[in-house]
Chains A and B, each alone.
Chain A
Amino acid sequence: MTVTRRTKTASNRLQGRDGLHALLFLSPTLVIFTTFVIFPVFFSFYLSFHQWNMFSSQTSFVGLANYSRMLRDPEFWTVVKNTLVYTLGTVPLNMAISLLVAFMLNQKVFGKKFLRTAFFAPVIISPVAAAVIWRWMYDPNFGLVNYMLSFAGIRGPNWLNESHSAMFALILMAVWKTMGTNMVLFSAGLQGIPETYYEAAEIDGAGAWTKFWRITVPLLSPTTFFIMVMSLISSFQAFDVVYVLTSGGPLGSTKVLVFYLYEHAFKFFEMGYASAIAYFLFITLIILTLLQIKFMKSRV
């Protein structure tokens, strides 16, 4: 009794001082965020309606010219197409493999810890180092990939130097690099499915396949959808692996949206135009996120 009263008075007494304390505790974060997040978000919106080469002191208002230039630039559409191909190539493949692996590891397996570490290892290494390794593996004459293919009697292409194979090579490497994250997320989702469902199904004589399609897939769908949206978002933002593996080439066949943005901002210094591209990306991602929220609401 006395304890509750004392606690109450204590928290009452403190309430008045909280505002000042909050300001103090939040100030480092607020300063950094205002300077490097809040201000930039508005300023790049402002910039997207201006022309500015960064080195001159004046910006000139150009209205929607940056946006209309973007929509009229054939390269922009190639880049959008490449980004979509990259996304459609990586996301489903990535999800299928990572679900399969997570499903297989969600049972008694000898050496589970080793296996999980092995599948997760590519996630943690730097994209730059990963791309350097894969460039060597894709070497047409001495690379491991074509050597492996030769066992199947296939003569592999000059992967990174032919425009029809470079995107495929990029996708393959990206799946290898990012699969582990989704595996971990799927594993967490799988662990959330009560064992009793499977046991009941077994009593009814369900096989492994039926159990997978009738229990695992439906009960996992919130996780699956979450992973899908996260993967879509990150594949729209791909840059590092592209820069190091192919530099957007050959002939622009792997040039994706963020690479295009980078070129315009930091090679041609067209800050206004680059900001318009950034906002295009931003709006695309917002739409994706809103779709996710809507879907989750209708489900849960």
Chain B
Amino acid sequence: MKPTARTILHINKRTLFYLFIYGAALATLAPFIWMVLTSLKDLNEIFVYPPRWLPKTFHFENYARAFQAAPFGRYYLNSLVVAVAVTIGQLITCSMAAFAFARLRFRGRDALFLLFLGTMMIPGQVTMIPTFMVLHWIGWIDSYKALIVPGLASAFGTFLLRQFFMTIPRELEEAAYIDGCSKWRALWHIILPLSRPALATLAIFTFMGVFNDFMWALIVLSSEEMRTVQLGLAIFRDRYLTEWDLMMAGSVTATLPILVVFFFAQKYFIKGITLSGLKE
């Protein structure tokens, strides 16, 4: 039966609501689905009109071919090394700094904290050129160090953890201090175990930010074996302009780890965003 205007009017509001919201969700996901399906097609199937959603046979070998056309394995390794190093580094430096701001009493603490917050407003583009030059002078351009070291501290991370530390009751540590516990141990054995949610949020945001970073990698890297996944993919795109099968396989590869992390740690993403209001 063909739906007429009258039957459409009679569909209740709730159904329309669900049609709309699920339709919108599907439209948002369509590029992902399209990417995965295209990555499994034969090139002849890609260039057809009208476009066909499903491949006739699944060409998983596209992935192997993409990994041969460019050293994606190496790109992956580079990205992981950098992202893991920065994440671990930030967890350490930020929790130390946050502890100082939340728990220690010293002169100029509040002014210094304000200065810290102020630096969050400085756009990366302002510090980019001198940072590049500093790395150039030390001879770190085109190395892991150029990607890792400038990211080893974070005002956002310090702020996030400091706010969390403030909610932990002081009595817990003060009892420990009486028993002769040092500040360092208090941070490690009392504060940090209680701060797991905040640490997870920071870790995920940092990891995601570094793994997805493109501009800084573009600026400081020059040799092929140093390339991160994002830079590798961008250069791959320039070189294999029409080989969409390989390019989509590369894109899936560059997207997958983040999607996996996101799937398992969704609530921390949401928390981090609402806490900070910062974008990626």
Contact = CB atoms under 8 A, between A and B. Distances in A.
Interface of A: 6-7, 10-11, 14-15, 18-19, 21-23, 25-26, 28-29, 32-33, 35-41, 43-44, 47, 54, 101, 104-105, 109-111, 114-130, 132-137, 141-144, 147, 150, 176, 178-179, 181, 184-185, 188, 226-227, 230, 233-234, 237, 239-240, 243-244, 258, 261-262, 265-266, 271, 274-275, 278-279, 281-282, 285-286, 289
Given A14-B177, A19-B106, A286 B212 contact: no
A136 B248 contact: yes
Nearest to B31: A133
Given A117-B266, A132-B251, A271-B129, A124 B134 contact: no
A133 B178 contact: no
Interface of B: 17-18, 20-22, 24-26, 28-32, 34-35, 38, 46-51, 92-94, 96-97, 99-100, 104-107, 109, 112, 116, 119, 121-134, 136, 149-150, 152-153, 155, 158, 171, 174, 177-178, 183, 187, 208, 211-212, 214-215, 218-219, 229-231, 233-234, 237, 244, 247-248, 250-252, 254-255, 258-259, 262-263, 266, 269-270, 273-274, 277-280
Given A126-B211, A129-B251, 9 more contacts: A6-B178, A26-B96, A33-B119, A36-B153, A54-B133, A101-B24, A123-B280, A137-B31, A227-B277
B277 A226 contact: yes
A51 to B, nearest CB: 14
Contacts of B133: 43, 54, 271
Contact of B31 (A14, A25, A110, A176): A176
Nearest to A114: B25
A45 B180 CA distance: 49
Contact of A126 (B47, B109, B258): B258
A104 to B, nearest CB: 5
Given A28-B153, A129-B255, A134 B31 contact: yes
Chain B CB count within 10 A is highest, among A40, A101, A129, A185, for A129
Contacts of B125: 237, 258, 261, 278, 281-282
Chain A CB count within 10 A is highest, among B50, B126, B208, for B126
A74 B237 CA distance: 31
B13 to A, nearest CB: 9
B277 to A, nearest CB: 6
A27 B22 CA distance: 51
A282 B273 CA distance: 23
Contact of B215 (A32, A240, A274): A240
Given A6-B178, A18-B106, A147-B50, A37 B119 contact: yes
Given A29-B153, A126-B230, A176 B28 contact: yes
Contact of A274 (B129, B262, B270): B129
A38 to B, nearest CB: 8
A281 B248 CA distance: 35
Contacts of A126: 211-212, 214, 229-230, 233, 254-255, 258
Contacts of A109: 21
B234 A128 contact: yes
Contacts of B51: 142-144, 147
Contacts of A233: 123
Nearest to B100: A25
A7 B174 CA distance: 6
Contacts of A176: 28, 31
Contacts of A41: 122, 126-127
Contact of B100 (A22, A129, A274): A22
B93 A29 contact: yes
Contacts of A29: 93-94, 96-97, 153, 158
A124 B204 CA distance: 11
Contacts of A178: 279
Contacts of B127: 36-37, 40-41, 44
28 contacts: A7-B171, A22-B100, A28-B97, A29-B93, A29-B97, A35-B134, A36-B131, A36-B134, A116-B270, A118-B29, A122-B31, A123-B279, A123-B280, A124-B262, A124-B280, A126-B233, A132-B237, A133-B31, A136-B247, A141-B47, A143-B51, A176-B31, A184-B269, A185-B274, A237-B123, A239-B215, A240-B214, A262-B219
